[in-house]
Every structure is written in C-alpha cells, then in structure tokens.
Structure 1
Amino acid sequence: MNGPIVPTPRIAYFSMEICLDQAIPTYSGGLGVLAGDTLRSAADLNLPVVGVTLLHRKGYFRQQIDENGNQTELPVEWRPEEVLQEQPERATVTIEGRTVHVRGWRYTVRGVTGHEVPVLLLDTSLAENGENDRTLTDSLYGGDARYRLAQEIVLGMGGAQLLRAVGFLGDTRFHMNEGHSALLAATLLDWRLDGRKPFELTEEDVEAVRRQCVFTTHTPVPAGHDRFPADLTKRMLGDATYQLLEAAK
C-alpha cells in the first residue's frame, strides 16, 4: 500500500459505498458488498481497475438496542490514517459557487496472484474548506437532498478530477455503480468541450462521452434512485454545468 499510484488502470469503478474491510465502515449493505466483491474479483482476474468512493468518516451508523427493544443510531468513528494511505494529489469542485477541495486516501485490494486494484476514498475534511463542506464526506446516506447532492458532486465530479490529478485518464472507461456518480459525465463533457460553450456541444461530443461510460444498477425500484429538484440542482452545480447538462439531453 506504500507505492505510488501508477497510470495503468483503464477502468474506473465509481460507487457511493464499497465494502473493503470490516475496519473501514464505508458501506451499509448489499450495494457496498457487491462493489467490494466486484473489486476483489477484478484483482483476482488481473483487471486494470481503480475504485472510487467516499471516505464516510462516520460510516452509515452503528445500531444500539436498549432493554425495551428500541433502536438508537450512533455514528461509527474510525481513523482513516490507521488503515489508509493519504495521497498528495488534490482536486476541487464547485458547490453553490464555493470551491471545495478534495483529497484521496488509498486502499489496495490484492488478488490471489498479487495483482493490485487501488481504491481512492474521497475526503473533504480539509482546512481549506469551510466547516460545513468538511462534513460532506462524513455520513453515508445521511442528511437532506442538498447534502446528498453535494456528496454526488464530490463523488462524480471530484472523483473524475482526482483521477486526472493522479494520471489515470487517457483511454479510461468509467463504470458507474448506481446513479450516485452520474455527475462525472458532466466533467467528461466539460473536458470534451475544451473551452467551447455549452451551446456548442454536439451529438458527437455526447456520443463520445457515452462510449466512455458504463452504468449498472441493482434495483429498478424508484425509491432506490435519487431525484433532485431542478432549482436545487442549478443552485448547487452553477449555471454553466447546469446548462451543459441541459444541452446534453
């Protein structure tokens, strides 16, 4: 786990939760277990994959049952520096007009042959960020719609930016495990524009980004998919990114 991340992976696997180890409480259930098993299988099969998720400093929750059978939900406190390696690279995203800084912590999944799949766990608990923004990577599936959308900006857009910072891009394919990381497509579209305006986006641009992306879901139930009001989305993303998404429809 001490070596540098090298630009060999060609599949970037994004998931809001990944079960990596019981000492790393960054998952709540089936989706996280599936994601963890996917990365372990990739390591066993020597596949060129890198994982991207959020750090979740307070985990999902720890269940406590009292003598009357009532459940109390408690945060799961853990120390990332004891089990992960902080990466020197940084990325930034814009949320409600503010610059939010993102760092990555590295975990390495090793396969049966010794092949390594690095996983970057994104973290906004940095001195450069405001007090509220430092908490954006604290709780898995916590908070209101604003908090959840901010997390998805960090995961999708911040994750793509951090991958670029560590040199993972090039011919990379982006696998979105559920829609939580869907906003990474906005970053890919922006890179594709390369300085052009959103209204200059072409079908060729959209198709090129579409070919870079893979999407899988483990449930067709509507409750399993986030939906955000247009006014909130526009306020959180800013006019330029919102216009870009509108142009890509």
Structure 2
Amino acid sequence: MKLRRQRSLGLLLLMAASLAAARECQHRPRDCKDDSCLVTWQCGENSQCGARRGCVCLPCYSGDTCDDYVDRYPIMLQEASDVFIKISPDHSGSVYQVNATDDDQTISCTNIARTNLFTECPCGAIEYGPLKLMRPFSSADENPFKMDPVTGDVLIKDSALLEPGETYYLQLQIQPYKPSLASGALVLNLTVEVMQSAPPHAAEGDTSESAFLHHDHPVPLSQVIPAAGPQVTGAVLGLITHNS
C-alpha cells in the first residue's frame, strides 16, 4: 500500500510539473465577438505560441508541443579517420585542425552565430576532445599536445619540447556539446611524426595542409594500437558507442 501511494504521488508531481511548464495559447478568429469562441491550445515550455494555431519550437526542440529535444550527430568533413602528418622539431602552435559540421546548425540553429551555439543552440554545437596520447605511453600531464574544444585545433603546448625523430600517436573524439543525449563519439586517429630537421619545401611557421600533411606513406593508428571502437579507414569514421 505504501509503495502504491508513493507511485501515485510521483505521478501527480510529474503531472503538476508538466502543467506548470505548459503555457496556454489563444487565438481569436475574425468573427469571434467574445471569449466563448476563443481557440485555445497548450504549448510546452520550449516553445512560443503560434500566430493562429500550433506551437513555434525554440532551437533544438520539436514535436507538437515542442517537448522533444533533437540533437543530430556531428559529421566529419575529412575523408579518412586516420591522418598522418610530419612537422619540424621547432614547430609551434597548431599542427592540425579537425573540421566537422552538424546538420542542427542549418536546421535548428539558423541565424545563430557559430560562436553563440553553446548558449543559444547547444544541439548544433560541436565539442572537440578529449585528446589522448596513445604512444609513446605517457601520463596525461606529459602529453605535449592539447586540444581546443571549440575550434578543433590540435596544438603543441607552450612548454612542450618535441623529440626529433619521435612519432606521437594521438586519438581524439568529436561529439555533441551534450554527449549524454547522444549515442557515442566520432574518433579521429592522428599520427604526428617529428622530423630530424625542417623539411626544405616547408617554410618555418607554415601550418598549411600542403606543408605538413603527407599521404605518401600513411600509418593508420589502428595498425599500431587496438581502437576503442570499430574503426573504418575511409569516408566513414570510427564510432565509440556509449551505453544509454
């Protein structure tokens, strides 16, 4: 009996919260002279009343009453999930920039600047990271690279000293701003080889793809260490899934 009462109380509280969050919308037809002919309907807290009928959903929400949160998955613009680059030992700053997009930016977040997505349209925001150093094996504090979670830049830390001739195997994730609402994260394997000296064809400080990205002898990370999820080298990126 006590358990039944607790369940009933929980249901009543849920119904009360839903009613409190809902808003009543009204429309007076042209030939309506008093309140008896007003057209009324309910809209959820994540919406605005339509001009005549229905609800206008806020960004990221859909459904008749705008109660459904929609978060489409980011899409990588790179064609491969394994990237191999070479840099000079005295290189600084960005070594690579991950480029991804999200359909929510054009469907739910129209007319919203990309810099404001995290606050005004979080379903369209993309978070880059975390960035893990897979080899050489090291603690997180010794990782000479860091990730800009907003721009997608893989950067050399200011205090880091890269070892000439060393190869660093990195793994980074690309996920929605609210990963708990999605099923997983895209994975990019990045292999960074530090040359013994600066290449003759690349000017110092040149971070362009043509200067540092080499496809002649790529080394997929999946051949060096087991991937955390199914890995596909090519147009489709690997996906790490999380249990919901």
Query: Normalising by structure 1, what TM-score?
Result: 0.25
Write 1 or 2 for the structure with the bigger share of helix: 1
Larger Rg: 2
Write 1 or 2 for the structure with the bigger share of strand: 2
